[in-house]
DNA sequence: GCTGACAATCAGGGCTGCTGACGATCCGCT
DNA sequence: AGCGGATCGTCAGCAGCCCTGATTGTCAGC
């Protein structure tokens, strides 16, 4: 952990700011979720799976913006933790439908609360209205279609 | 490249937002800087080195918040590209002072302009006042001292 | 001088995510 | 019927990024 000194050259850079904000959040998230035996990525998977059933692995990966091969490993760990179950779909036996186990549902509920509290602490240095605007600004940026050319 | 579909479960998560905003920016940055033969990390190194001379490798790494061993590799590539030079410090021969070559200074100047234009395009979906607030909010978060306990 | 601390380097490993290939399965077409 | 192309999950392998730990050279206090 090197020092946090920073001159204007850096704090005016969007890249530096986003990277370090992300790193800080990841650290806080990992810490906050440690009691539940999962990390932020795994929690996001659980949350997506809970919204709609049944989801195939590919569909879940698509919603999270991750690769299908990455989802395989992610589900492997979640399955060995007993939080999700894979079942071959009867309609299309190429697909695995993935669902939360009761343990997984319980874990999700409690971990989501911990995550929300962690995010509040994370945004605490900001006035509440600024925190809202930050969220909205990021949503706008992330949901804006990519400009292929530039 | 999986789809960009996203439900509220995700877009309300700070982790998801920061991660994907960062990924998008990195992609845009890499593209914008490609003509100069460098990427965003390398440009940040050049920018830091330009602010104060002489800086040792360790000092430069500290300002960027990266590890000293990472800096070694980063400087290796910048040196082979002819953008920086390492010189053993005369006062303390353990240290390498790193400075930009004329080529490096020229590269920095032009690449910085490209980066600023890229950032403007990146923030274009936001009203200008929101873009400013986004920057300030991120600065606040990144410069807030870490809370060791929580 | 000796000892402990520090700077740069290197080897190695962890984590994350990808590409490419494979087997199983589905679907459209003939 | 059955063939061909596409799709899903899986795996092996690789690349990028960053760290830990050990090594070498150097400094600074005693």
Q: Does the CB of A69 fall within 7 Å of any strand C atom?
A: yes
Q: pTM (2 decimals)?
A: 0.89
Test the B interface: residue of A38, A141, A143, A145 with most B CBs within 10 Å: A141
pLDDT value for B3: 36
Sign of the alpha-carbon dihedral angle for B61, B66, B71, B75: negative
- Give residue A32's Cα distance to chain centre: 13
Q: Domain boundaries in chain B?
A: 11-123
Interface size A-B, in CB pairs within 8 Å, comes to 181
Whether residue B31 is predicted with pLDDT greater than 80 in this model: the reply is yes
Give pLDDT tens digits for B83-114. 999 999 888 999 999 999 999 999 999 999 99
Beta bridge partners of residue B56, listed in sequence order: B97
Cβ under 8 Å to B: A residues 116-135: 119, 121-123, 125-126, 130-131, 133-135
Residue B7's pLDDT band, with cuts at 50, 70 and 90, is low
| Contacts of A90 by beta carbon, 8 Å cutoff, 6+ apart | none
List of chain A residues with pLDDT < 70: 1-7, 147-150
Q: Which CATH architecture has domain A12-141?
A: Orthogonal Bundle (1.10)
Residue A4 with chain B: CB contacts under 8 Å: 65, 143, 145
Helix axes B128-143, A14-33, angle to 10 degrees: 50
Residue A13 with chain B: CB contacts under 8 Å: 44, 47, 115
pLDDT value for B88: 92
Whether residue B125 is predicted with pLDDT greater than 60 in this model: the reply is yes
CB proximity B61 to A under 8 Å: yes
Task: For the domain covering B11-123, report its CATH number.
Answer: 1.10.10.10
| Under 8 Å between Cβ of B135 and A17 | yes
Q: Does the CB of B76 fall within 7 Å of any strand C atom?
A: yes
Sign of the alpha-carbon dihedral angle for B102, B104, B109, B111: positive
Residue B2's pLDDT band, with cuts at 50, 70 and 90, is very low
Helix axes B14-33, A14-33, angle to 10 degrees: 150
Strand order in the sheet with A96-100: A55-56, A96-100, A84-88
């Amino acid at each position: 952990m090197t020092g946090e000194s920073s001159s204007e050259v850096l704090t005016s850079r969007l890249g530096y700011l986003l990277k370090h904000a992300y790193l800080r959040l990841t650290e806080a998230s990992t810490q906050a979720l440690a009691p539940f035996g999962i990390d932020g990525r795994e929690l996001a998977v659980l949350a997506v799976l809970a919204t709609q059933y049944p989801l195939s692995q590919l569909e879940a990966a698509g919603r999270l913006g991750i690769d299908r091969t990455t989802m395989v490993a992610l589900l492997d760990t979640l399955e060995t933790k007993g939080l999700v179950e894979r079942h071959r779909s009867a309609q299309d036996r190429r697909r695995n439908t993935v669902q939360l186990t009761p343990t997984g549902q319980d874990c999700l509920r409690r971990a989501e609360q911990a995550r929300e509290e962690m995010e509040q602490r994370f945004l605490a240095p900001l006035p509440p209205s600024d925190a809202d605007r930050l969220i909205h600004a990021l949503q706008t940026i992330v949901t804006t279609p990519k400009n292929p050319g530039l």
